[in-house]
């Protein structure tokens, strides 16, 4: 069994004391920011990215991944205890989780959320290990036209499936692509949109864009809409769910995991869509749907499993194809590139330690999260009492130091401020920020592959439809667009995203 050998190899990498430490730091920070509303995994990863430059690539990736899935756990804690979704992925958990807490069943709610998440995380890890290598195998045969069509497909899918206005998402992708090409053209050395500014000839730093939009823009927006935070701390007693609870939750956990894994590999669908669909499915299947909204344990078990499975499976396209399926994955790709690793199917053969080490660390990280979250729940809840007015200056301080440390450049600080303002204004106008980041990261790669494909085909654009794999991607892209403008789907989509 080659798979098991490779997994064992991965555990060997992940169990080194440094990597265990990075994993622990990652999941702790993730839980922390998951608990705290107003700062999400995207902003945190962007802020902490510069610090990981000095860390070995495996350790850096393990830590950043830990922040990401750790945040999913943390988000459910506040959703259940304070009726406040720490992350968007736990919005639906609020509905029944908080009701359970009010009925004095906070303990079982938290426990089932953790158990469901852990199960989903384990399945997600296995799925990556199972499907990663064959996918990479196929992707190794891709040439420039296939890559271009694949990127086009994933950008369109990401924009279409993202929450919010579809047209605005696509516009944001285009804007991101445009921002991505600022600087010296790789092929000809021609300077584009750099206005003679030396700092711009290497392009806009993607940390600048991410921190500006996701940390600063977010803070400006939060300060404009101050939110009453009820500091209600439910006493958590009887942590363990009863046997009846367990029996009721098995089905939802399994179905939630399946749904989450499915949505996970689709580009653009955030964990919120996975958890929302799981909630709807459970409500439909329930013998007595009226219990939902009044503390039904299925309404916690299903969505919490779904969002964690989704978070894990988002790694599959990133690790095997070098394609980011979400904003966080775009950041991970950026982290790899900065570390000098060219993302793509070669990563698995050239750096097996990176792939298998990360996969193994995710399972270890999920185990750590169960331990961190259940017994230490009181500690995390205490953190909720830290007022936002103390929190956001600290976020600003870490952001500033992080950005400055990348190039020791004050110019990038000014540019971040600009993106902060822009991010806030775009948000107000209803433009989702994540598609811009995807376009921004993929922009240079897409241009490169387009030009290479045209060279290959001697200037004949039909190359994209005459090569079968590329044609397949193009057909799917067109299919997605047609389906999405169909009135029935459009209406249904509006219901879900509202």
Partner 1 sequence: MRGPSSVLGRLSSVLCPPSSAPVKLPDSKDFWSGVMLIAIGGAAVVIGRDYPFGTALRMGAGFFPLVLGAVLVLFGVYFVVRGLRSSDRIEGGWSLRALVILPLAFVLFGVLMQHAGFVPALFVLVVGSAAAGTEFKLVEVLLLAGLLTVLCVALFIWALGLPYPLFAGS
Contact 29, 48 (CB under 8 A): yes
393 binds partner 1 per the rule CB under 8 A: yes
DSSP calls for 120-144:
HHHHHHHHHHHHHHHHHHHHTT--H
In 3D, which of 450, 458, 447, 466 has the Cα closest to residue 145?
A: 450
429 binds partner 1 per the rule CB under 8 A: yes
Binding to partner 1 by CB under 8 A, coded x per residue (else -) over 337-376, reads ----------------------------------------
At closest approach, how far in Å is the CB of 230 from partner 1?
17
At closest approach, how far in Å is the CB of 154 from partner 1?
17
Q: What is the C-alpha to C-alpha distance for residues 347 and 51, in angstroms, rounded to an integer? A: 23
Residue with tokens 């053209």: 185
Which two three-digit tokens encode residue 414?
Answer: 């000014």
In 3D, which of 54, 138, 146 has the Cα closest to residue 348?
A: 138
Nearest 10 degrees: CA dihedral of 121, 127, 129, 132?
-130
Residue of 46, 58, 219, 281 that binds partner 1 (CB under 8 A): 219
Q: Given the rule CB under 8 A, which of 10-18, 117-125, 272-280, 423-431 is the region that contacts partner 1?
A: 423-431
In the complex with partner 1, which residue's Cβ is closer, 285 or 394? Answer: 394
Which two three-digit tokens encode residue 493?
Answer: 């989509």
460 binds partner 1 per the rule CB under 8 A: yes
End-to-end CA separation in angstroms for the chain = 47
Residue of 8, 197, 250, 418 that binds partner 1 (CB under 8 A): 418
In the complex with partner 1, which residue's Cβ is closer, 226 or 468? Answer: 226
Q: What is the C-alpha to C-alpha distance for residues 95 and 294, in angstroms, rounded to an integer? A: 8
- Say which DSSP state 191 is in: E
At closest approach, how far in Å is the CB of 54 from partner 1?
7
Q: Given the rule CB under 8 A, which of 72-80, 251-259, 359-367, 418-426 is the region that contacts partner 1?
A: 418-426
Binding to partner 1 by CB under 8 A, coded x per residue (else -) over 134-173, reads ---------------------------------xx-xx--
Residue of 390, 462, 495, 498 that binds partner 1 (CB under 8 A): 390
Nearest 10 degrees: CA dihedral of 365, 370, 371, 375?
150
* Bridge partners (DSSP) listed for residue 183: 192
Contact 280, 298 (CB under 8 A): no
Binding site for partner 1 (CB under 8 A): 51, 54, 167-168, 170-171, 174-175, 177-178, 181, 185, 187-188, 190, 192-193, 216, 219-221, 223-226, 388-390, 392-394, 396-398, 400-401, 404-405, 410-411, 413-414, 416-418, 420-421, 424-426, 428-431, 447, 450-451, 454-455, 458-461
């Amino acid at each position: 069994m080659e798979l098991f050998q490779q997994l064992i190899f991965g555990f060997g990498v992940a169990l080194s004391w440094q990597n265990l430490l990075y994993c622990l730091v990652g999941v702790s920070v993730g839980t922390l920011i998951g608990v705290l509303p107003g700062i999400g995994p995207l902003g945190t990863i962007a802020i902490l990215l510069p610090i990981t430059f000095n860390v070995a690539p495996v350790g850096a990736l393990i830590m950043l991944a830990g922040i990401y899935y750790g945040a999913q756990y943390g988000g459910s804690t506040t959703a259940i205890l304070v009726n406040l979704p720490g992350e968007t992925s736990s919005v639906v958990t609020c509905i029944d989780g908080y009701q359970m807490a009010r009925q004095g069943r906070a303990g079982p709610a938290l426990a089932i959320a953790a158990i469901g998440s852990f199960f989903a995380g384990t399945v997600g890890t296995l799925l990556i290990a199972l499907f990663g290598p064959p996918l990479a195998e196929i992707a190794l045969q891709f040439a420039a036209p296939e890559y271009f069509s694949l990127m086009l497909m994933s950008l369109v899918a990401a924009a279409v499936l993202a929450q919010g206005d579809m047209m605005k998402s696509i516009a944001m992708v285009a804007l991101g692509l445009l921002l991505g090409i600022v600087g010296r053209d790789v092929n000809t050395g021609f300077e584009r949109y750099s206005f003679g500014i030396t700092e711009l000839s290497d392009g806009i730093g993607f940390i600048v864009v991410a921190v500006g939009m996701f940390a600063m823009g977010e803070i400006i927006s939060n300060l404009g809409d101050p939110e009453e935070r009820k500091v209600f701390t439910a006493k958590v007693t009887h942590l363990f769910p009863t046997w009846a609870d367990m029996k009721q939750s098995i089905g939802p956990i399994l179905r939630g995991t399946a749904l989450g894994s499915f949505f996970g590999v689709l580009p653009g669908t955030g964990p919120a869509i996975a958890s929302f669909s799981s909630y709807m499915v459970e409500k439909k299947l329930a013998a007595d749907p009226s219990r939902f909204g009044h503390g039904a344990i299925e309404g916690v078990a299903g969505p919490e499993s779904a969002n964690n499975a989704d978070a894990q499976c988002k790694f599959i396209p990133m690790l095997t194809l070098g394609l980011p399926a979400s904003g966080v994955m775009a950041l991970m790709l950026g982290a790899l590139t900065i570390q000098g690793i060219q993302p793509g199917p070669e990563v698995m053969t050239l750096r097996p330690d990176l792939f298998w080490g990360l996969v193994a660390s995710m399972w270890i990280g999920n185990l750590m999260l169960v331990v961190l979250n259940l017994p230490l729940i009181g500690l995390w809840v205490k953190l909720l009492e830290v007022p936002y007015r103390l929190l956001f200056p600290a976020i600003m301080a870490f952001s500033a130091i992080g950005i400055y440390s990348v190039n020791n450049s004050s110019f990038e600080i000014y540019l971040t401020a600009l993106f902060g303002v822009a991010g806030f204004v775009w948000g107000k106008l209803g433009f989702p920020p994540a598609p811009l980041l995807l376009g921004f990261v993929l922009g240079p790669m897409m241009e490169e592959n387009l030009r290479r494909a045209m060279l290959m085909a001697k200037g004949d654009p039909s190359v994209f439809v005459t090569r079968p794999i590329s044609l397949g991607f193009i057909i799917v892209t067109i299919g997605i667009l047609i389906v999405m403008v169909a009135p029935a789907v459009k209406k249904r989509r509006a219901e879900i995203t509202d």
